[in-house]
Amino acid sequence: MLAIVCPGQGSQTPGFLSPWLELPGVREHLESLSAIAGLDLIAHGTVSDEETIKDTAVAQPLIVAAGLMAARLLVEPKALTASTVVAGHSVGEITASALAGALTEPDALIFVRERANAMARAAAETPTGMSAVLGGDPEEVAAALAAAGLTAANANGGGQTVAAGTLEQLAAFAAAPPAKARVIPLKVAGAFHTAHMAPAVSVLENLRPQLRPAAPLPTLLSNYDGAAVVSGEANLDSLISQVSRPVRWDLCMESMAAMGVTGMLELPPAGTLTGLARRGLKGLPTLALKSPEDLDAAREFITEHSGTAAAVAATTTGEGNA
């Protein structure tokens, strides 16, 4: 069984879209997504610097667009079935929803545009951020986070938790971390998936009537509890409330294991989730689609782990040009 996963904010790097623009149809696809997002996603994915693409209002649409671009190169529309698992981490859940058919591509870009802008405004109200906490005794880490007034915003499995809160809280926590734990600041602009993002939830609730959610075709996992969402409205509920509640990627990985997933393919900007799988799903074959050079291997990976469940795109998408 194949799992296709979509990374979240912080996975982007300067210039990561540059090699993709050499493939037929990619520039046009990204231009159409840029028009909906109200951003020049091509420029941000090729020439914008690290500080620019760290901006929440830029990073989130850029990451979703990158995943949708790569998915179109790999999988024919509506080719995925319930025998394929699709999941995304944080903003990647929007990418996954579009890939699963639970949102149309235009609705996914509208949603992420409004989400990103609302979260950026919420983040600007108070200086906040996030830090990865690696290792340490889980109970001691949880107690230390609570004592510092921080929220465990991401439970990523494999001994990794992401702490979120004010910059002062994070600095104090990093200065006296739990035993055997490392604290690494993340390249994000706010305390996402915490109560600090509550204003963004209201914005997305107001957006709901404009969207056209549908039941997902493949198995689409929710960040809330790792369970499959069975309707378009249930998925929209998950996407909206996810903004201010913790991401349980550990539970998503547990669900993948329970379902018998045999391989994980990560869409661009890839590397983070396959890295988590090496710790949380030890021994699971993974493939991070980082550049066009990986396309042929990705197509073979899809065929190997899904059989006829997914039709591999290899017509006008530039096969052989990778």
Distance (Å, whole) CA 160 – CA 138 = 9
- Residue 74's Cβ-count burial label (10 Å; 0-12, 13-18, 19+) is buried
d(CA 188, CA 120): 10
Task: Quote the CA–CA distance of 236 and 107 in Å, as a whole number.
Answer: 11
Strand order in the sheet with 84-88: 219-220, 84-88, 2-6, 263-266, 286-288
Please tell me the distance from the alpha carbon of residue 39 to that of residue 114, in angstroms, as a whole number.
12
29 is annotated as an active-site residue:
no
CB atoms within 10 A of CB 83: 15
Residue 215: CB atoms within 10 A of its CB come to 15
Question: Which of 29, 44, 89, 193 is labelled catalytic?
Answer: 193
Catalytic residue flag (residue 305): no
Out of 34, 48, 90, 131, the active site residue is: 90
Supply the angle between the helices 56-74 and 92-99 in degrees, to the nearest 10.
Answer: 30
Q: Residue 90: which residues within 8 A CB-CB, separation 6 or more?
A: 8, 9, 154, 192, 193, 223, 242, 247
Cross-strand pairs, 88: 6
Q: Identify the residue whose tokens are 């404009």.
A: 210
The rounded distance, in Å, linking the Cα atoms of 27 and 181 is: 43
Query: What's the farthest any 2 CA atoms get from each other in the chain?
Result: 56
Catalytic residues: 90, 193
